[in-house]
Amino acid sequence: MKVTSNKRAVIVGIFIFIGLAFLIAGILAIGSLNKSFTKKLQISAVFDDVGGLQQGNNVWYSGVKIGTVKELSFYDKSQVLVVMNIDEKSQPFIRKDAKAKISSDGLIGNKIIVIYGGTPEVKAVDAGDQLAVEKLFTTEDMINTLQRNNENILSITTDFKEIGKKIMSGEGSLGKLLNDQALYDNLLSTTEKLSLASDNAKKMTEDIAVYVHKLNMEGGLANDLVNDTTVFAGLQEAVLQMNEMVANANEVVSNLNASSNDPQSPVGVLLSDEESAASIKTTIKNLETSSVKLNENLEAMQHNFLLKGYFKDQEKAEKKAQKEAEKAAKKGE
């Protein structure tokens, strides 16, 4: 009897030992999965909205799990302070200017915190550092944005309907243009005239270009004036001479004006003395009468038999001289 009791106690002890062994192994396995026995470093970040993040959710860096969320608490007015436990061995790779954002583990998985960015020149994070965060659009933000866009589209559609009604009823410039045939014809005619004017302007521009090209051709007047210094100098000298002639003419006119205003000068006497003017007119008439009589006397002398031979000899001499001049001109050619 006593032996049976001892066996039973041994068996119970063995089962208890095996159970304790499984318990210790399970604790070690779970601790290994959660890295409960590795050294941790606490850092934090403040989010406006954590979107369902919970204590114990994972923290990732460059696609590697480096820790978990230790604590969530309200911060300031409506923000949330998230404290994270990260492995010390990942500390050298996370910089102080790195950022944190909330993401999802898969398409519809648990919320996670993703640490990213940072420049190599900046020091690594220390315990108690607070990372900057990136504001992300939540599902609610996207729904609100879509709602506002729908309202704007509805407002724009309503405006287009009103505009369409006014156009179809002939209101406004566009409505009159679409409904008034006379206005449309006038606009079409104006457009055709503008097109014709444009063609004429283009043709005129081409003609001007051709004309300018001809002016710039060597041997032309414009080209010589621009490039030939001799021609330009001669032209300049001619202009100077013309200016001098104009100055002399102005001086002569001034002298005539001065003489005409002086009653003692000959010009003044001729212009102001009526008796002298009448005498000059009489003299001119007498000269004309004498010239006529002289021509008559010369004509009579030509028909006089005494002088007729002299005038014939003179006429023959003139004809001979003219023939000799014509022969000399032909030889010169």
Residues 143 and 120 in one domain: no
User: Has residue 60 been placed in a domain?
Assistant: yes
Last-in-domain residue among 176, 203, 235: 176
Q: Is residue 93 part of a domain?
A: yes
Q: Looking at the domain assignment, is residue 185 inside a domain?
A: yes
Are residues 130 and 63 both part of a single domain? yes
Render pLDDT for 113-158 as a digit per residue (tens, 0 to 9): 999 988 989 999 998 899 998 776 666 677 878 888 888 888 888 8
Give the total number of structural domains in the chain. Answer: 4
| Domain termination residue (choose one: 80, 114, 136) | 136
> Do residue 105 and residue 193 come from a single domain?
no
Residues contacting 308, CB < 8 A, separation 6+: 302
Asked whether residue 58 falls in the same domain as residue 142, the answer is no
Answer yes or no: is 67 within a domain: yes
Does 80 lie in the same domain as 40?
yes
Structure confidence at residue 37 (pLDDT)? 52
113 shares its domain with 186: no
- Among 128, 146, 176, identify where a domain stops: 176
Please state, as a whole number, how many other Cβ atoms lie within 10 Å of the Cβ of residue 176: 14
Q: Are residues 37 and 80 in the same domain?
A: yes
Q: Is residue 283 part of a domain?
A: yes
**Tens of pLDDT along 166-216?**
767 766 666 666 666 776 677 778 888 888 888 888 888 888 887 777 766
Whether 100 contacts 115, CB under 8 Å? yes
pLDDT computed for residue 82 by the predictor: 93
Give residue 98's pLDDT: 92
In which residue ranges of the chain is pLDDT below 50?
1-2, 32-33
41 and 131 share one domain: yes
> Could you tell me if 190 and 172 lie in one domain?
no
For residues 190 and 152, state if they share a domain: no
Q: Provide the residue range defining the domain that includes 187.
A: 180-215
Look at residue 46 and tell me if it is in a domain: yes
Shared-domain flag, residues 189 and 101: no
Report pLDDT for 154: 83
Q: In this structure, is residue 3 part of a structural domain?
A: no
Please tell me the predicted confidence (pLDDT) of residue 177. Answer: 61
Residue 228 included in any domain: no
Indicate whether 52 and 144 sit together in one domain. Answer: no
